[in-house]
Structure 1
Amino acid sequence: MVTIYDIAKKANVSPMTVSRVVNNSGKISEKTREKVEKIIKELNYIPNNAARSLTLKQSKILSLLITDITNPFYTKVARGAEDKAKQMGYRLLLSNSDESLEKESEYVDMLISSGVDGVLMAPAGDESKKNLKTLIKNKIPFVLIDRQVNGIDCDLVIGDSYHGTRQLLEHLIKQGHSKIALINGPANISTAREREKAYFEILRLAGIEANKQLTSNISYRQNDSHKVVKNLISLPESKRPTAIFAANNFIAINTIKSLRQLNVRVPEDMAVVCFDDPDPIPDFNPFLTLAAQPAYNFGYMGIQLLIERVEGNGPAEKQRVILPPEIIIRNSSMRK
């Protein structure tokens, strides 16, 4: 981790001068200030506010950085993380990136500056590698949940996207569906890639020719599925799907709303399945067939692994925990 002493040595000034620049306090010449600020930027120095006031080696504060707190999946993750942190004598800071790499970067810098002991993180996507390397550079332990990032060797708590997708597709195929559309998440997110891989492999193994025209990638959280659904419904009857696999709960809910607007009945005219359970909606019928992931355990087990790293009790090799989903069959996929 870069310190004010490293800055002072390279700038040929005293540590006190660097401290004054960082804290914007005391009298200092503009020329010296500019020189110090230039070196601070070159060395990517992030001030550690906690280190200024704490003499303890640990702050007993952990961070949970997730992508969308409005998603019921992550709400349950947060509950599991908070429960385990409190049980182990730690406090938990919650941050929400909104699937934004830029916002995630800002939070990572803030967390380092705040002096947290470790970070439990659902990365925004493959580009999060830059932020994870920043944590590594600053020697901040972290554990990834729900998603993984290629090239980053760390502890993981993830779901079994492949087998969850397989079971949902096999259910649809048993119901007689052979034209199944996939409305997937962004291709730069590991869960979306795993679900797409399973989609094509399971259809091939079932002797069903996959049609690229029936697959699409959209945001996991934005309400932008209407155009995709409209395009699917406008296909010639011979190519039009009779079932839709939605990559997550938000996509599924918006898909069903779009189908209703287009006077397409679920499940009579179109079956719908998805990953993760949405919050109950009183007037929403039918209920969704889905792969329910144990969200609470993602947070609970993730914090447990993180504390082991923070306290130096973890194994030498990084741990990889894969949590299987529970397949729940409801009305949205049943033939009427």
Structure 2
Amino acid sequence: MVSITDVAKKAGCSATLVSRVVNNQYGVSEKSRQKIQAAIDELGYTPNGLARSLVLKTTNTIGVVVDTLCDAYFFDLIQAIEEEVGKLGYDVLFCSAGNSTEKKSSYINFFMQERVDGILIYGSALDDKKLITKLARSHFPFALIENDMGSLNVNNILLNNQYGSEVAVDYLFQCGCRNIAHVAGDENRQAARRRQKGYLSAMKKHGASNIMILQSGWSEEEGYNTLKEFLSTCRKADLPDAFFFSSDQTAYGGMRALLEAGIRIPDDVMLIGFDDDQPRNHNFSYVPLTTVRQPLSDMGKAAVDILISDIKEKKEIKEKKMFYPNLVIRQTTRKEN
């Protein structure tokens, strides 16, 4: 393996001078720079990234911690982060925490050991609050996507989940629905709680007193089991006009249970989900789902821009940016003629 000493010998100069050329620093004449560059090209020398970061006091790398790298739902976010980081001259390292606060903490500690210049963290788990508060005290640059830390001075890229739920329920009322049930998501997720809050707010606005909340999770299987259990005790004549699900995955599970029970969608009952996600079960014929779409690409790009700006400028007051989801109308809802 070619070393910096080999390049110095070939160019007839000191290793310090070669280091300055490699790191694009001042103190080298143009003639010497060209001679050293020629030696680098001839020998095929590749700088040691770790050594270079020690010299420059920067890694030009961003660390990203998400719940999973295998879920297609995150692909738009991941791609947007990767593209924006590249445009700004940085590299990126992705880690999958698997919904574990312990793993998330381990990855963050790993990144903070001078391996990256800043960290992006996606998710809204309530259990992360202690971890985020500790990270904020360290003054290490980072930005949160989704997890609203309230008054804590951190970079926050947020989705207005309550607004998204209100838009969904408002549309169901426009479709003639009055008896609307909410299938709530993971109680440990701030996003699920705010979506439920939006449901309650919209129902109150429309003067609806028949509140119905079915506690579930955020997976298709949980949605299926929740609706299966509900249908076992509910006559078809007593069904709500619509179900508003806290996530699309739960909605796909609920849809399966309803269709298996012979309930027509949207003729007998209407459905709206949240996220604009795709079903994972390809062995079932789903009705195209009306949903609330998150602008994940825009959120990913904004997160990178805010974090790198903080890395460069070391801002005392951190930045918060709110995004708003939009309704995507498909075939699980239908307006009255």
TM norm structure 1: 0.76
Task: Name the CA distance, whole Å, in 2 between partners of 1:167 and 1:229.
Answer: 23
Aligned to 2:218: 220
Unaligned runs of 5+ in 2: 1-48
Name which one, 1 or 2, has greater alpha-carbon Rg.
2
- Name the residue aligned to 2:92: 92
Q: Describe the shift of the 1:139–1:103 C-alpha distance in structure 2 as closer, same or farther (beyond 3 A).
A: same
1:252 equivalent in structure 2: 251
Give the number of equivalent residue pairs: 285
Structure 1 residues 189, 127: closer, same or farther in 2, change over 3 A?
A: same
CA–CA distance in structure 2, aligned partners of residues 176 and 194 of structure 1:
25
Contact (CA 8 Å) 1:289, 1:333: kept in 2 or not?
yes
Once superposed, what is the RMSD of the aligned Cα atoms?
Answer: 2.6
Determine the structure 2 residue equivalent to 1:46: none
Distance, in Å, in 1 between the alignment partners of 2:216 and 2:107 is 25
Give 1:268 deviation, angstroms: 2.0
**Distance in 2 (alpha carbons) for counterparts of 1:283 and 1:238:** 26
Cα distance per residue 1:277-326 (max 9 Å; x no partner): 12376974421111111110111100100001111264x43222111112
* Matching residue of 2:61: 61
Give the 5 Å matches for 1:102-121. Answer: 102-113=102-113, 115-121=115-121
Looking at structure 2, the residues matched to 133 and 147 of structure 1 have their Cα atoms a distance apart, in angstroms, of 12
Q: Return the alpha-carbon distance in structure 1 between the equivalents of residues 302 and 79 of structure 2.
A: 12
Call closer, same or farther: CA 1:71–1:271 in 2, change over 3 Å. Answer: farther
CA 1:142–1:271 in structure 2 vs 1: closer, same or farther (change >3 Å)? same
How much does 1:79 deviate?
A: 0.9
Cα distance in 2 between the residues matched to 1:201 and 1:301: 29
Q: Structure 1 residues 86 and 172, CA, compared in 2 at 3 Å: closer, same or farther? A: same
Matched, 1:191 2:191: yes
Partner amino acid for 1:229? L
Measured in 1, the distance between the counterparts of 2:220 and 2:55 equals 44
Q: Which amino acid aligns with 1:276?
A: D
Greater mean deviation of Cα atoms: 225-234 or 196-205? 225-234
- Would the aligned equivalents of 1:179 and 1:239 in 2 still touch at CA under 8 Å? no
Taking the aligned partners of 2:278 and 2:302, their CA distance within structure 1 comes to: 23
Residue 278 (structure 1) aligns with: 277
SS in 2 for 1:103: helix
SS in 1 for 2:221: coil
Contact 1:182 1:215 in 2 (8 A): yes
CA distance in 2, matches of 1:261, 1:110: 48
Q: Do 1:289 and 1:332's aligned partners in 2 also have CA atoms closer than 8 Å?
A: yes
| CA deviation map 1:229-259 (0-9, x unaligned) | 0233232556532211111222122221222
- Cα separation, 2, equivalents of 1:319 and 1:205: 32
What is the letter of the counterpart of residue 148 of structure 1? D
- The CA distance in 2 between the partners of 1:70 and 1:184, in whole Å, is 24
Residue 207 of structure 2 aligns to which amino acid in structure 1? Answer: G
TM-score after normalising by structure 2: 0.76
Is it true that 1:242 corresponds to 2:238 in the alignment? no
Deviation of 1:123 after TM superposition, in Å, equals 3.2
Q: Alpha carbons of 1:334 and 1:70: their partners in 2 closer, same or farther (altered >3 Å)?
A: farther
CA distance in 2, matches of 1:305, 1:85: 11
Answer yes or no: is the 8 Å Cα contact 2:159–2:325 preserved in 1.
yes
Structure-to-structure mapping, 1:101-250, within 5 angstroms: 101-113=101-113, 115-150=115-150, 152-211=152-211, 214-221=212-219, 223-233=221-231, 234-236=233-235, 239-250=238-249
Q: 1:254 to 1:222 in 2, by over 3 A?
A: closer
Q: Distance in 2 between matches of 1:84 and 1:104?
A: 23
Q: Distance in 1 between matches of 2:190 and 2:116?
A: 27
Distance in 2, matches of 1:321 and 1:116, equals 23
Percentage identity across paired residues of the two chains:
22
In the alignment, what sits opposite 2:19?
Answer: none
Residue by residue, what CA displacement relative to the aligned partner does 1:23-71 show, whole Å, maximum 9, x if unpaired?
Answer: xxxxxxxxxxxxxxxxxxxxxxxxxx96997332111110111123344
Distance 1:102 1:258, change over 3 A: farther
